[in-house]
Structure 1
């Protein structure tokens, strides 16, 4: 998507470079982050500001206002509403750099509804193939700006609006659906995550090899089925920690973890907080 030897960087645009209208582009570029303790906070922005980012390499965490962490892996996008208390940072425990392209834009109250519909339909983080119309449009916008081919605020507006229209079309019409095999694998994992012994069990039920399932699943979802299973278990664990009075041991068992200690270890690693502290913060 981007030549790693070519430094794109990012830039904020002045008001003179942008055009007032239903959408105004304010920043764009490519960033590489590799320090897990580097946290980008989203605040002090004009009302109705959004940041859209797309992971090119590695993976990062987008933490929403409720403290729930969403993994934004390769070929995954995030739409972040600002001003808000959301944060983003490289995924802890990974050695690979998190590289993503991104744009920031301000919308009117009328245009904001399309962004809200995207968030309602897909959530904060969602899968998008690199050849999607929206991603292609954004990459084209960034490259042309970097090469000084967009020196008109009218062209900047047209490029940004083209991106949002294509993103809305692709998400709201469910243009990108997973293959039947991957959909069935996701269904099995989501329906039986608490008692699945491993991905081999899922592969055998689908009559394919574990390696083949893992390869195709990762191509389409941006993560392995093992990581997807873990994600489902952790999401359910967070629900129970917030809404129930079950003990940590009971929650670990109900979510399919082999032991309380293993659950605590995994939760701490992925969420950067212990289950007990997570429960305490959410209930306070």
Structure 2
């Protein structure tokens, strides 16, 4: 079930699983989606009980701050930080900010620590991550599994933790060619679309999520992504439809409803225009294409 950014149903989860493999490779310690509005929010890396933990925190909206070895960094939409516990850092809601919305994941284990140390030494503690990156999409996938109580043992937790570490490492390897930090309005709009594509949302809803006027938002969005907001929403919906057509036996009508279209006929027209074949033809062709997922531009 996609998450609704407008419902503000924030949650945090902690994990306590047995299994030496987590310490040897990667273990999942905690993760959450939060918004803080009080200036008592203040975490110091030398005053916590946890040992050997690695924190990734990504700003969705608002503004936070972190001090690392005496250097101050402002954290806005699209900024992520990487720190280890214990270390000389402190992240907090600064007096200049009324709110800070972010997602976070804390990992541990030998591979997690080695990867974090490498990234901090080569890329630094602060990185810019676009909201439609595979890294952020993976975070939401893991969070959905956690929220749906589908992670029930240490092996599943370790699998997701390792996947996140590898995606983080890959993102860092490509960071030189990554786009500049996206404006907060675009970040908020894209995450809204990613988590509400199954609903009957339109341009006005996307504009509302961005916090800008329709004129300024549509111009900014196209400048940053080269797509209109509706074209971007369509891409998200068709990507999900392809997954459902390949991996499930749901009817065309059910697939249409699940990806936000009111009926199968209209969905089929949109699918045909984008993919070049009808949903039915695409489903029949899946036995001829030996892949689980199809990547489209």
Q: Shorter chain as normaliser: what TM range?
A: 0.5 to 0.7
**Is residue 2:172 matched to residue 1:171?**
yes
Structure 1 partner of 2:108? 106
Q: What is the rounded CA distance, in whole Å, between the counterparts of 1:74 and 1:151 in structure 2?
A: 32
Q: How does the TM-score come out when normalised to structure 1? A: 0.57
Structure 2 partner of 1:134? 135
Structure 1 gaps of 5+ residues are: 180-210, 221-284
Q: How many pairs are equivalent?
A: 185
Whether the 8 Å CA contact 1:18–1:154 is kept in 2: the answer is no
Structure 1 partner of 2:52? 48
CA shift for structure 1 position 17? 8.4
Q: Deviations over 1:62-93 (max 9, x none)?
A: 111x2211111101111111112311112322
Match of 2:95 among 64, 67, 92: 92
From the superposition, tell whether residues 75 and 176 of structure 1 become closer, same or farther in structure 2 (CA, over 3 Å).
Answer: farther
CA shift for structure 1 position 16? 3.6
Structure 2 partner of 1:12? 14
Q: What is the rounded CA distance, in whole Å, between the counterparts of 2:167 and 2:90 in structure 1?
A: 26
Structure 1 partner of 2:280? none
**Is residue 2:33 matched to residue 1:62?**
no
Structure 2 gaps of 5+ residues are: 181-215, 226-297
Q: Deviations over 1:110-134 (max 9, x none)?
A: 5533212211232111100112122
Structure 1 partner of 2:42? 39
CA shift for structure 1 position 138? 1.4
**Is residue 2:74 matched to residue 1:71?**
yes
Whether the 8 Å CA contact 1:90–1:98 is kept in 2: the answer is yes
| Cα RMSD after superposing both structures | 3.0
**Is residue 2:29 matched to residue 1:26?**
yes
Structure 2 partner of 1:237? none
Whether the 8 Å CA contact 2:61–2:77 is kept in 1: the answer is yes
Q: What is the rounded CA distance, in whole Å, between the counterparts of 1:151 and 1:11 in structure 2?
A: 13
From the superposition, tell whether residues 166 and 39 of structure 1 become closer, same or farther in structure 2 (CA, over 3 Å).
Answer: same
